[in-house]
Chains A and B, each alone.
Chain A
Amino acid sequence: MLVMGEVHTGLLQNSGEISESTCRQVLGLMAGETVRVSRRPIVHALSPERLTGVDCALPTASRSRVRGVGTVVSRCAVTGGRVAQGSSYARVVRSEADRRLPWSHYLARPGVVEVLGKVKAADLAEGFTGDTVPGRPDGACLDLGAVSGRFLDLVQQSPLLDRRAPFKIPRTNLRWVAETGEPSIRFTLHAEQERTLRLTHPGPFTPAVVDLCEDLATHDWLLTSLLVIVERARIGGTPGAQAVARLAPAIDHLMHLWMPAARVEEWMTPFWESLERRPGFTRQWRSLVDRVRDQVAMNTLALLSATAEAGRRSP
């Protein structure tokens, strides 16, 4: 019917970036399962996948009560030894039975949540990615955000991290829904750190869709964070040297991480490309990076001329 997921992205709670071998240890969430690491064009480490059992109401725009039973797939990732993610998703399908079945039935379909009773895909999609935070006033409703948040916490609380992050920056949450159909993509910024993504792709769902959502979440977080840092620097409102000092974390920790669509399968790259046209993630990123570099260059020039001035004055 559809796939729903949520990705939480944040700055890894460590003073510097962590090495590939540390990544492997931090993400080793399961005995006997290896952490997958790719090194080109950026180091990206992905934990093994774990399942969480759920039996609860699903979010619907109509607020009608829809019960889902099954498992949610979760995993963690670290990009560039610096950006941490907790990501969860579930494929929602109609159940052939009208009652809850033994648990082994659901474990034979990992990552599938079966809906008991009638529901329209659009109602679920709208309920999950609509303007309001999914939830029901009268009881428990599938909380993928909490699951992803816990997986991100699992990484952040690793004893291998020193918990001395170079700057404070909020986490971002991306809720997404993917369906089969005519290709389209809609990315929406909501209040604060909330984002939603509606994706329609040709052919059946594959994990490549999840990779795309995680890649988008990483880059949206990078862009959001760089914006925050530039804003905090108060360029023009503070002395140049002070502004540059405030921009330094961006140069040290973020600016080399921009690698859009690096881990996205070829057939999914048109989705990234269409977002590049509107709103133009890379365009905004480049303009911000140029702004940071211009500030540094201006400040260097000012320092140089000040030094030269001082040299002329001294006998």
Chain B
Amino acid sequence: MTPVHATFGEVAAERRIASVPLSHVSVELGHLYMEDYEAGPDRLREQFRRVAPWLATVRSLWQERVPGGRARVSTCFLVDDYFSRFSTPAELVPMVLEAAAEHDLTIDYLARESACAQSGGVELARLVEDRLVDDPPPETDGSRPPVKETGWLCNGSRSPRTAPLQAMGKARPWEPPAQNAKRGHSIFVDVELWDEKGPRRTWSCPFLAAVWQLLRLGLLRSDGRVPLPPVALDGGWPRDWDELPAVVRLNPQAAPFSAYTTLSVLSPRFLPVELAVRTILSQFAVDDEVLRQVATRSEGEGIRLEEELVDRISYVFV
């Protein structure tokens, strides 16, 4: 008898990672907080007026870069329903869409900020927190667990405590913190990821913004599945934010929500927030398999992506 080649498989023993459709670039047209809402529709119109030329620019840049000029560009808009609740989707969304249309902008996807914390049984924020790998200061050899200040993340070594440990001890003179990858001098950044009052954890704005970037880059998976895929809305806008899907597809012809790269057009007042976001994302470990999927796909269409996650994110501060 000839030898029989047997194969045996077990589904629970394999790791299956879903892939996600990807555009070339995801452009965030705006991020609406309560203060913007309170400032009235003129603030929104002003935002869209400033964004419009940059969207046109990024579109033409990608059209030049992609063979055949078929650039896939999707646009999105984020509403803060996490730090403060204001208005209702039924009232707010039509107003936003109208203001965008005045500047010939189409918002393809609308997302809720609270979804970056938790939505549909998926705690995206926890998922991202678990994948943070602390930037090790020199002489970190694995012998001790990483030095952590619970709920904080920094890009180097903090200043040693200056208060004396014992009443009799002498106070140590101040020593500076240090950035790990400094070039000559340090720019030390320490970011608060969350705080807790009683049992409730509140994620910080930069942390949720980091989750938002990862969602737009299609780099998150929950149990191997793509979390919060965009949903088209049947019927009208609900009266409660909780009834609104995490990510709503507004334009049926839209290019995919997630993309190889992202561009956010923001007011310079968000600069510190985005520095914090980059500090967090520099310490986020994307799943190996997901990294490979995206690399294979982009190379398949002749696009070389930046290796490092933070280099796939760009901004226009206007």
A interface residue numbers (CB < 8 A to B): 29-34, 36-40, 44, 51-57, 69, 71-72, 88, 100-105, 107-108, 110-111, 139-144, 146-147, 150
- Contact check, A105 vs B138: say whether CB atoms are below 8 A apart: no
Contacts A31-B126, A32-B221 known; A103 to B141 CB distance under 8 Å? no
CA distance A102 to B123 in the complex (A): 29
CA distance A33 to B15 in the complex (A): 9
- Contact check, B180 vs A104: say whether CB atoms are below 8 A apart: no
Residue from A33, A44, A72, A103 having most chain B Cβ neighbours under 10 A? A103
B283 closest partner in A (C-beta): A103
- The reply to whether the CB of B223 lies closer than 8 angstroms to some CB of chain A is yes
Binds A, one of B25-33, B143-151, B159-167: B143-151
Task: Output the least CB separation between A174 and chain B (Å).
Answer: 17
- Contact check, A102 vs B142: say whether CB atoms are below 8 A apart: no
11 contacts between A and B (CB under 8 A): A31-B123, A32-B122, A32-B126, A34-B15, A53-B134, A57-B141, A103-B283, A111-B288, A140-B139, A141-B141, A147-B142
A58 closest partner in B (C-beta): B141
Contacts A141-B141, A146-B144 known; A71 to B133 CB distance under 8 Å? yes
- Contact check, A55 vs B137: say whether CB atoms are below 8 A apart: yes
A44 closest partner in B (C-beta): B13
Across-interface contacts of B222 in A (CB, < 8 A): 32
CA distance A141 to B309 in the complex (A): 29
- The reply to whether the CB of B65 lies closer than 8 angstroms to some CB of chain A is no
- The reply to whether the CB of B155 lies closer than 8 angstroms to some CB of chain A is yes
- Contact check, B285 vs A40: say whether CB atoms are below 8 A apart: no
Task: Output the least CB separation between B290 and chain A (Å).
Answer: 11
CA distance A34 to B220 in the complex (A): 14
4 shortest A-B CB distances, which residue pairs? A38-B13, A56-B141, A53-B136, A140-B141
B138 closest partner in A (C-beta): A55
CA distance A147 to B139 in the complex (A): 15
A51 closest partner in B (C-beta): B133
Given A36-B14, A104-B308, A110-B288, 6 extra CB contacts under 8 A = A31-B127, A32-B227, A36-B12, A37-B12, A55-B140, A107-B282
- Contact check, B140 vs A31: say whether CB atoms are below 8 A apart: no
- Contact check, B223 vs A32: say whether CB atoms are below 8 A apart: yes
Across-interface contacts of B250 in A (CB, < 8 A): none
Across-interface contacts of B143 in A (CB, < 8 A): 140, 143, 146
Interface residues on B, range: 35 or more
- Contact check, A53 vs B140: say whether CB atoms are below 8 A apart: yes
Across-interface contacts of B140 in A (CB, < 8 A): 53-56, 140
Residue from B15, B220, B227, B286 having most chain A Cβ neighbours under 10 A? B15
Across-interface contacts of A101 in B (CB, < 8 A): 181
Instruction: State the majority secondary structure of interface residues on A.
Output: mixed
Across-interface contacts of B309 in A (CB, < 8 A): 104, 107-108
- The reply to whether the CB of B243 lies closer than 8 angstroms to some CB of chain A is no
CA distance A261 to B98 in the complex (A): 65
Across-interface contacts of B8 in A (CB, < 8 A): 40
Contacts A38-B10, A39-B10 known; A54 to B136 CB distance under 8 Å? yes
- Contact check, B123 vs A142: say whether CB atoms are below 8 A apart: no
Question: Which of B14, B180, B220, B282 interacts with A55 by CB under 8 Å?
Answer: B180
Across-interface contacts of B145 in A (CB, < 8 A): 150
Task: Output the least CB separation between B59 and chain A (Å).
Answer: 27
Instruction: State the majority secondary structure of interface residues on B.
Output: loop
Across-interface contacts of A57 in B (CB, < 8 A): 141
- The reply to whether the CB of B284 lies closer than 8 angstroms to some CB of chain A is yes
- Contact check, B308 vs A53: say whether CB atoms are below 8 A apart: no
Contacts A100-B181, A108-B307, A110-B285 known; A54 to B141 CB distance under 8 Å? yes
Task: Output the least CB separation between B227 and chain A (Å).
Answer: 8
Task: Output the least CB separation between B68 and chain A (Å).
Answer: 29
Give B147-192 interface residues, CB cut-off 8 Å to A: 155, 180-181
Contacts A32-B127, A40-B10, A107-B284 known; A52 to B142 CB distance under 8 Å? yes
Give B99-151 interface residues, CB cut-off 8 Å to A: 122-123, 126-127, 129-131, 133-146
- Contact check, B13 vs A143: say whether CB atoms are below 8 A apart: no
Contacts A53-B140, A103-B135, A108-B291 known; A71 to B285 CB distance under 8 Å? yes
CA distance A102 to B279 in the complex (A): 11
CA distance A147 to B134 in the complex (A): 14
- The reply to whether the CB of B224 lies closer than 8 angstroms to some CB of chain A is yes
- The reply to whether the CB of B310 lies closer than 8 angstroms to some CB of chain A is yes
Contacts A31-B127, A32-B223, A55-B136 known; A142 to B307 CB distance under 8 Å? no
Across-interface contacts of B10 in A (CB, < 8 A): 37-40
Task: Output the least CB separation between B278 and chain A (Å).
Answer: 9
CA distance A193 to B101 in the complex (A): 71
CA distance A142 to B145 in the complex (A): 13
Question: Which of A36, A51, A100, A105 interacts with B285 by CB under 8 Å?
Answer: A51
- The reply to whether the CB of B281 lies closer than 8 angstroms to some CB of chain A is yes
Question: Which of A33, A102, A139 interacts with B308 by CB under 8 Å?
Answer: A102
CA distance A142 to B144 in the complex (A): 11
Residue from B155, B180, B221 having most chain A Cβ neighbours under 10 A? B180
Across-interface contacts of A33 in B (CB, < 8 A): 130, 223
Task: Output the least CB separation between A24 and chain B (Å).
Answer: 9
Across-interface contacts of A104 in B (CB, < 8 A): 281-283, 308-311
Across-interface contacts of B181 in A (CB, < 8 A): 100-103
CA distance A146 to B146 in the complex (A): 12
